[in-house]
Amino acid sequence: MYKRQQYNLHIGQCIYCRLCEEVCPVDAILLTQNFEFTGDTKHDLVYNKEQLKAVPWYKDIDPLESREPDRGAWIGEGDGEVDYQ
């Protein structure tokens, strides 16, 4: 299995659609109203993992501890049929 060695966040390309937040398997991405990322050029808006950890509001998380503990949990069979078309 391929494992990424580097994660870059391109703040200049972010449109705050929250898709990255939804698909993150360990709930490590949480978008807020905090807009303190600034820069003079587009290159200044690309942050790597170490730079993101240096921001004042960084909080180290346990990847096995989720904000939503029931996320993805089996809740039983549903009622009725599903129309996939």
CATH of the domain at 32: 3.30.70.3270
Question: For residues 36 and 55, is the Cβ–Cβ distance under 8 A?
Answer: yes
By C-alpha distance, which of 36, 56, 54 is closest to 45?
36
In a domain, 73, yes or no: no
Q: What is the pLDDT of residue 39?
A: 77
In a domain, 10, yes or no: yes
In a domain, 24, yes or no: yes
Task: Count up the domains in the chain and report the number.
Answer: 1
Q: Give the model confidence (pLDDT) of 36-75 as tens digits.
A: 667 788 888 787 878 777 776 666 666 566 555 555 556 5
Range of the domain at 37: 1-66
In a domain, 79, yes or no: no
Q: Give the model confidence (pLDDT) of 18-31 as tens digits.
A: 888 887 777 777 77
In a domain, 62, yes or no: yes
Q: What is the pLDDT of residue 29?
A: 78
Residues composing the chain: 85
In a domain, 84, yes or no: no
SS3 breakdown of the chain: % helix, strand, coil, rounded to 5?
A: 20, 5, 75
